Amino acid sequence: MLLVVTPGLRAETVFVTDELRLRLQAEPTDTSAVVANLGSGDRLELVDRAGFYSLVKTADGKEGWAKTAYLITEKPARAQLLELQAEFTALQDSVGPDKLELASVQEQLQATGQKLEQSQVEASARAARLEQLEQENVDYRQQLGIGEWKMPWRWAALGIGFSLLAGIALGMLWFDSRSRKRHGGFRIY
């Protein structure tokens, strides 16, 4: 049964806890020879367990016994913190150029906003001027009478009288010429 459990132990990874210097010993006793000194956060491969000691293998291949009470299955908080700080620094470095570009884009946006405001002010001034010119145009048309047909009554009366007299005169000439044709050139009324 021990052989069945042992392969499962080999796949487990353990770490030395925070702020600790741990001796890796040749035998599972306090008096045995020290193979290596382990630091907090060192990665170890768990090979076997025996009482208060665990047989572990270091990343550089050294194998020895360490006290099980000082081994944990998750990375210590300090190691996690250092990794996160390194990742944070890398992210800050990668964000640096983006911040500069963002600042440049914000400056362009602000300049464009100012141009837009200036254009809106100019457009409203032009619209007011156009409205003023249109009102002046309407006033001038009213003063000059453009668009309205006006004829002074004296000229109208004179035109009607002249037309009446011309019509009578032409009618008499036409009647006279017709009468002469009928009567052989003599005027008979």
* Residue 20 main-chain phi, psi, to 5 deg: -145, 140
Q: Which residues contact 176 (CB under 8 A, 6 or more apart)?
A: 187
Per-residue confidence in pLDDT tens, the chain, 189 aa: 444 445 555 557 777 666 667 888 888 888 889 888 888 778 889 898 888 899 999 988 899 999 888 888 888 777 788 889 999 888 888 888 888 888 889 999 999 999 999 999 999 999 999 999 999 998 888 888 766 666 688 888 999 999 999 999 999 999 989 888 888 888 776
pTM above 0.75, yes or no: no
* Angstrom distance (rounded) from CA 164 to CA 42: 129
Number of H helices, E strands in the chain: 3, 7
